[in-house]
Amino acid sequence: MIAETGHFALVLALIVALVQGTVPMVGAARRHPGLMAMARPAAVTQFALVAIAFAALTHAYVTSDFSVLNVARNSHSAKPMLYKIAGVWANHEGSMLLWVLILATFGSAVALFGRNLPPTLAARVLSVQAMIAVGFLAFTLLTSNPFERLFPVPVDGRGLNPLLQDPGLAFHPPFLYLGYVGFSMAYSFAIAALIEGRVDATWARWVRPWTLAAWSFLTFGIGLGSWWAYYELGWGGWWFWDPVENASFMPWLAGTALLHSSVVVEKRGTLKGWTVFLAIVTFGLSLLGTFLVRSGVLTSVHTFAADPARGVFILGLLVLVIGGSFALFAWRGPALRGVGLFRPISREGSLLINNLLMTTAAASVLLGTLYPLILDAFDAGKVSVGAPFFNAVFVPLMVPMLAVMAVGPFLGWKRGDLAGALGHLKAAVAIVVVVGLATWALSGGPVLAILGITAALWLAAGTLTEFAGRIALFRATPAVSLGRLIRLPRSAWGMTLAHLGLAVAVAGITASATWRTESIQTLGRGEAVDVAGYTFTFLGVREVEGPNYVATRGVFTVAKDGAMIATLHPETRRYPVEGQQTTEAAIRSTFLGDLYAVIGDPTVGGDAFVTRLYFNPLVPWIWAGVLIVVIGGLVSLSDRRLRVGAPQRRPSVAAPGSEPAPA
Amino acid sequence: MRGMLATFAVLCAALIAMTAAGVEPGEMLADPVLETRARDISKNLRCLVCQNQSIDDSNAALARDLRIIVRERLAAGDSDTEVIDYVVARYGDFVLLKPPLKPVTYALWFGPVAIALAAAAAAAAFLRRRRTRRPFRSIPTSAAGSKRC
């Protein structure tokens, strides 16, 4: 009965979305307040209905109701509660339900918090949002109904893929979707602006927080997925340029560009058409990501759905949304003229370079991801485009990017002084040269790695110098600096943290990709091996029973210079229900890197085991860097100028210190 | 239903293949220089039955066979290029994770450069146009817009 309630609620949500997608749009065109006013209650109702549907499916999972086909296929009564709940979205149908739930959440958030939006804009935004919802609700109901019943009811479910039974992966999809779907807000605002024919600072102030929120969630989601791959897949890699990873990375790259160009719209009233275009592209890439993952067009490890009917439906939706938006953009875009003039060397200019490099990167990843599919579709041969291609393309784009990132914040709006900016960076240059040479002398290369480390260092030094300049550190008395520090707008903190986080992550990425040490061997009890100056001693294995698995747990001690520093317990887990096996790496993070141990199969005699031991330098810096970036995004999001949204509403509330004070 | 199950089984097999990492101690060459060369070559060869995994990362049977072939060729005195050519001759370009530069991949390899140049040209044109043109006011095209102005 509860499953049917969920199904019924989902059908009602589709009907509400149909009304919300049309009536307010007509109302806005005719300036009819009553029709426009329909948008808000409709958005909230739609959210409530999708939430009921989601709660119904969650209930079926929590109570292990195997009369629901979806639950029988993807759950098992012996599964821990966390994975019963995570199981809701660890399959195709449930993940689509999560998609529409998040979409409805964003829509109702605009309805509830967007009271200071101009009425026509609010009506049009909510209407566009509902049109997207119509597409995805119809997709869910017609091709991927999660509430389908099963008869006869099986005694137990088939279980969830053990690889997905992991806390990191349990929360990976929700964050990824919060990012993907969050970009629908920027998209809806962009389409509404094209229909309205105006883009101004108020519009940008509305788009920025939503983009920032979506971008922060997406950053966190990608980081979470990468972290999972690192500790779960058992060979210490964390990014594979897998098509499904690329699917989430492309919207991130475009979203990063959008984030920066919307700053220019807000502060300087230019790059308007471009920003609208980027908003469309970013959400288009999110949809493309959904298509690539959900259609089964790439049968990759992450792709759990493989049904051509679904693929054709999403492809149609994709063509409609992207094609329709670009047609609208071609028609209405030229009306969006900017007002601000600027020189190539200026803050705007540096943000434009960010946009150029980010969009080129996104386009290149798109090209590399789709190329094998395109060749295959035209029978032009089969090629593989793997990590070596993406690394070859990506590194030359990111190095100039990092170089400009350190300088950009020093340039003034409109007309910047490059010589002056570089003058501020003398100390940074000195640090980079000294540490760069020292790294070279100590490690002996390769050149690319030295370049990566110095680029990270340059960015960190530049960012900190800029921050110090803002608070007049060492130029004014400590009291003055402290005062400035306290009054610094949150968005300035956000930028500093995000850029600093990227520097930390780049250092981690470079070092771990270049200087990792690996040792693969068969070890018997009591045998030891040296890895990067650490002595790993194998003390044997024991059998351990988990809630729904049996594990072989190895014990290693790690010593450095004769002193014991860690005990590691890597496991091989066997899941009897699913008939599968997973490896659980044992990781001890230190400031300079991770000690990483994996235990494999026993030798024929059974007394020795295949062991894989690694020292992965600076890997913790990658996760720390991603976290700092996300914190930067959230801090910036808490800036009152963004929270207040449209600034003209309550200008008197703004504290004097929170006025924009770009250096 | 049966189709779904088959797909599911294939995916599961792929997942199992993904969990345990490639090279086994028994396969490794005694000469560390040769072994390092074997690893470097393996990282650029695709495990043909896997998705986007090199033979160095996969424990699929085919990946294992390829790893052994690479090592046999190296032990027989082949250069790195000769080993790669040997594998490509048998499995085609599909086995290379870094696609070779040939007419069919020109768009792939020159694409990013072309995109970067086009983007830079567009930005330069935008900046030049801006400098020669008088600044525009925002032109409202709807009644609501003009009211607000």
pLDDT in tens, B54-107: 888 887 888 889 999 999 999 999 999 999 999 999 998 889 999 999 898 999
Q: Which amino acid is at A282?
A: T
| Nearest residue to A127 via CA among A61, A195, A216 | A195
Instruction: Search chain A and give the residue with CA nearest B20.
Output: A234
A413: confidence class by pLDDT, cuts 50, 70, 90: confident
CB-CB neighbours of A543 under 10 Å: 8
Q: Which amino acid is at A73?
A: R
ipTM of the complex: 0.81
Residue A615's pLDDT is what?
A: 94
Question: Do B69 and B9 share a structural domain?
Answer: yes
Alpha carbon distances (Å) from A520 to A183, A423, A530, A542, B67: 44, 50, 11, 21, 15
Instruction: Search chain B and give the residue with CA nearest A355.
Output: B119
CA distance A291 to A236: 29
Q: Is the pLDDT of residue A661 over 60?
A: no
**B118 Cβ contact partners less than 8 Å away, ≥ 6 residues apart:** none
Per-position b or e across A313-350, b if 16+ CB within 10 A of its CB: bbeebbeebbeebeebbeebbebbbbebbbebbbbbbb
Instruction: Search chain B and give the residue with CA nearest A369.
Output: B108
Give how far A332 is from chain B: nearest CA, Å.
9
- Total of domains in chain B: 2
Residue of A32, A125, A198, A297 to mutate, testing the B interface (most B Cβ within 10 Å of its Cβ): A198
Residue of B1, B138, B149 to mutate, testing the A interface (most A Cβ within 10 Å of its Cβ): B138
Task: Judge: A384–B137 Cβ closer than 8 Å, yes or no.
Answer: no
**A438 Cβ contact partners less than 8 Å away, ≥ 6 residues apart:** none
What does the CA dihedral A460, A461, A463, A465 come to, rounded to 10 degrees?
160
Alpha carbon distances (Å) from A182 to A100, A245, A323, A637, B32: 11, 18, 20, 14, 50
* Tens of pLDDT, residues A526-551: 999 999 999 999 999 999 998 889 99
Looking at residues A555-572, what average pLDDT do you find? 93
Give strand pairing partners of A535. Answer: A530, A559
CA distance B63 to B40: 15
Give strand pairing partners of A73. Answer: none
Task: Judge: B97–A384 Cβ closer than 8 Å, yes or no.
Answer: yes
From chain B, the residues in CB contact with A199 under 8 A are: 138
Task: Judge: B19–A392 Cβ closer than 8 Å, yes or no.
Answer: no
We report the CATH number of the domain holding residue B40 as 1.10.8.640
Task: Judge: B123–A356 Cβ closer than 8 Å, yes or no.
Answer: yes
- What spatial distance separates the first Cα and last Cα of chain A, rounded to whole Å? 62
DSSP for A586-616, written as a single string? EEEEETTEEEEEEEEEE-TTSSEEEEEEEEE
Task: Judge: A360–B95 Cβ closer than 8 Å, yes or no.
Answer: no
Question: Do B72 and B128 share a structural domain?
Answer: no
Of A239-243, A338-342, A438-442, A614-618, highest mean pLDDT: A614-618
Q: Angle CA(A168)–CA(A170)–CA(A176) in degrees, nearest 5?
A: 85
Higher pLDDT, A269 or A558: A558
Residue A405's pLDDT is what?
A: 92
Q: Is the pLDDT of residue A275 over 70?
A: yes
Question: Do B138 and B126 share a structural domain?
Answer: yes
From chain A, the residues in CB contact with B98 under 8 A are: 386, 388-389, 392
Burial class (CB in 10 A: 0-12, 13-18, 19+), A127: buried
CA distance A516 to A532: 9
Least CB-CB distance to A375: which of B23, B104, B112?
B104
- What spatial distance separates the first Cα and last Cα of chain B, rounded to whole Å? 61
Question: Do B31 and B68 share a structural domain?
Answer: yes
Dihedral sign computed on CA atoms, order A630, A517, A554, A238? positive
CB-CB neighbours of A638 under 10 Å: 13
B133: confidence class by pLDDT, cuts 50, 70, 90: low
Q: Angle CA(A226)–CA(A232)–CA(A237) in degrees, nearest 5?
A: 50
Residue of B15, B56, B93, B137 to mutate, testing the A interface (most A Cβ within 10 Å of its Cβ): B15
Least CB-CB distance to A235: which of B21, B46, B131?
B21
Task: Judge: B105–A383 Cβ closer than 8 Å, yes or no.
Answer: yes
Residue A181's pLDDT is what?
A: 94
Higher pLDDT, A412 or A129: A129
Dihedral sign computed on CA atoms, order A190, A191, A197, A203? negative
Looking at residues A61-80, what average pLDDT do you find? 91
- Cβ contact A583:A554 at 8 Å: no
Question: Do B74 and B109 share a structural domain?
Answer: no
Give how far B107 is from chain A: nearest CA, Å.
9
Residue A323's pLDDT is what?
A: 94
Q: Is the pLDDT of residue A22 over 80?
A: yes
B28: confidence class by pLDDT, cuts 50, 70, 90: confident
B147: confidence class by pLDDT, cuts 50, 70, 90: very low
Residue A315's pLDDT is what?
A: 83
* Tens of pLDDT, residues B12-22: 334 443 444 67
A641: confidence class by pLDDT, cuts 50, 70, 90: low
Residue A169's pLDDT is what?
A: 81
* Look-up of token digits 């693969």: A520
Higher pLDDT, A9 or A646: A9
Q: Which amino acid is at A594?
A: D
What percentage of chain A carries pLDDT values higher than 90? Answer: 55
Reported in sequence order, the residue ranges of A405-545 that DSSP labels E, i.e. its strands, are: 517-524, 528-531, 534-545
A654: confidence class by pLDDT, cuts 50, 70, 90: very low
* Pick from A26-35, A228-237, B133-142: least confident: B133-142
Burial class (CB in 10 A: 0-12, 13-18, 19+), A168: middle
Residue A642's pLDDT is what?
A: 57
Q: Angle CA(B95)–CA(B96)–CA(B101) in degrees, nearest 5?
A: 130
Least CB-CB distance to A385: which of B23, B99, B119?
B99
Instruction: Search chain A and give the residue with CA nearest B14.
Output: A301
Task: Judge: B139–A335 Cβ closer than 8 Å, yes or no.
Answer: yes
User: H/E element holding A151?
Assistant: none
Question: Do B95 and B60 share a structural domain?
Answer: yes
Alpha carbon distances (Å) from A661 to A265, A478, A563: 17, 19, 52
Residue A653's pLDDT is what?
A: 37
Question: Do B90 and B129 share a structural domain?
Answer: no
Instruction: Search chain B and give the residue with CA nearest A345.
Output: B127
Q: What is the mean pLDDT of chain A?
A: 88
Least CB-CB distance to A581: which of B19, B28, B145?
B19
Question: Do B55 and B82 share a structural domain?
Answer: yes
From chain A, the residues in CB contact with B16 under 8 A are: 580-581
* Tens of pLDDT, residues A151-161: 888 888 888 88
Task: Judge: A397–B28 Cβ closer than 8 Å, yes or no.
Answer: no
Question: Do B131 and B80 share a structural domain?
Answer: no
Supply the pTM of this predicted model: 0.89
Looking at residues A408-435, what average pLDDT do you find? 87
Question: Do B134 and B82 share a structural domain?
Answer: no
Residue A444's pLDDT is what?
A: 78
A643: confidence class by pLDDT, cuts 50, 70, 90: low
Range of the domain at B118: 104-148
Give strand pairing partners of B26. Answer: none
Higher pLDDT, B43 or A217: A217
Give strand pairing partners of A616. Answer: A594
Question: Do B112 and B57 share a structural domain?
Answer: no
Q: Which amino acid is at B27?
A: E
Question: Do B84 and B136 share a structural domain?
Answer: no
Looking at residues B1-8, what average pLDDT do you find? 36
